Amino acid sequence: MSGLAAISVILPVMDPEPGYLRETLASLLGQTHQDFEVLIVEAPGKRSAAPLLEELGDPRLRLLHEQGPGSMAKARMQGIAEARHELVAMIDGDDVAEAGRFAKQAQRFAEEPGLDVLGTALTIIDENSRPYAWRPYPLEHQAILRAFRRYNAIAHPSVMLRKAAVLELGGYRHSTCEDYELWCRMARAGRRFANLREPLLRYRIHHGATKSRRLRASILDTLRIKREHWGADLGLGDRFRMLQERALLLLPPRLVLRLFEQRTLQPLPEGACASLK
């Protein structure tokens, strides 16, 4: 689409699964808005994205090597620092962008100059790329701010954001929930948020990959972020939710994931599976 801003896409990878990464890159190269670059920020691992990138041979795909011990926050900051464009889109190496994602998000930024962070709803897919649910999010700024006191109301792999808005506040910090921490910090600083109603990202859930230590760290970090950024603004309902989250620390990880899905995911709308084939 002509007239839309160019986009830098940040894709951090570590030991990427070739089939998933191929699917992710194919979804990016198939966008209706073609004015973009993709920065693949690779941490050291047993497998590299280099052979696949060489095979694809698209000059918009740039491979960056992460320096030192890897972390998602560090990889994303390295990508943002190297980004050539003001609009930056995020995606992970096992997710899939719908063909109109970049165009629809860039159009919203063109229409709303004060917007800083724009997410979308998610289609949930399994390990075999089969869609089985979707997750909506609050759409408008004030609703998102209210939701932040209870949960992360912006799906990071679906995000498009303004580079300057992130850098002005110091960017991602090392954290288990570095995206949620950044959103809350940006919200407290007056940055503007929105979500598109349409699910423009297929988010992959690996049901066999839930690790007890990481899940526990995520819950504890979520509680810390709420206390640090919202503190006295937390209402009775917000604090009750925090008590529920503390109780999750006592449960097996797979049960926690099942409860999370029951609470947050909704059945796919009729006809959605056919449109996603």
| CB distance 214 to 72 below 8 Å | no
Give 69's strand partners: none
Domains of the chain in sequence order: 7-208 (3.90.550.10), 210-264 (no CATH)
| Beta-carbon count within 10 A of 67 CB | 10
Q: Report the C-alpha gap between 224 and 236 in whole angstroms.
A: 17
| CB distance 36 to 108 below 8 Å | no
Helical (H) or strand (E) element with 189: none
Split at pLDDT 50, 70, 90, the class of 17 is very high
Structure tokens, 192 = 């503007």
Name the phi and psi angles at 264, rounded to 5. -110, -25
DSSP-assigned letters across all residues of 69-131: S--HHHHHHHHHHH--SSEEEE--TT-EE-TTHHHHHHHHHHH-TT--EEEEEEEEE-TTS-E
Name the phi and psi angles at 265, rounded to 5. -95, 150
Q: Report the C-alpha gap between 32 and 101 in whole angstroms.
A: 8
Reported as a single tens digit per residue, the pLDDT across 27-55 is 999 999 999 999 999 998 889 999 999 99
Reported as a single tens digit per residue, the pLDDT across 151-208 is 999 999 999 999 999 999 999 998 889 999 999 999 999 999 999 999 999 999 987 6
Q: Is 78 left (phi over 0), alpha (psi -120 to 50) or beta?
A: alpha
pLDDT of residue 44: 87
Split at pLDDT 50, 70, 90, the class of 69 is low
Split at pLDDT 50, 70, 90, the class of 272 is low
